[in-house]
């Protein structure tokens, strides 16, 4: 199938040089790269980028005098009275 790609000029130039060095076509080089990428497990990359977010554990509760059910009181406690 024919398709059009918009590639970085330097990346394309490097790929063309590599294709000549390996005595293969640019198409074949791109196909091999896509196959390698598609074969890799996406879960591995996703796991390494995941970060644990801090979670409030509920100990000590709110600051005394802050009404948790009032947005106005919570904003006032934050100093954001907007």
Q: What was the pLDDT predicted at 72?
A: 87
Q: What was the pLDDT predicted at 42?
A: 61
Contact (Cβ atoms closer than 8 angstroms) between residue 76 and residue 62 = no
Residue 11: closest CA among 35, 38, 32, 29:
29
Query: Which H or E run contains 29?
Result: helix 26-39
Give the residues of the chain that fall short of pLDDT 70.
Answer: 41-49, 80-82
Q: What was the pLDDT predicted at 47?
A: 58
Q: What was the pLDDT predicted at 45?
A: 52
Q: How far apart are CA 18 and CA 33, in angstroms?
A: 12
Q: Is 33 helix (H, G, I), strand (E, B) or coil?
A: helix
């Amino acid at each position: 199938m024919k398709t059009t790609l918009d590639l970085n000029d330097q990346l394309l130039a490097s790929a063309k040089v590599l294709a000549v060095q390996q005595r293969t076509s640019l198409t074949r080089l791109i196909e091999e790269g896509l196959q390698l990428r598609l074969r890799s497990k996406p879960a591995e990359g996703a796991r390494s980028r995941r970060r644990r977010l801090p979670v409030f554990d509920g100990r000590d509760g709110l600051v005394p005098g802050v009404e948790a059910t009032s947005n106005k009181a919570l904003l006032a406690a934050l100093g954001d009275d907007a």
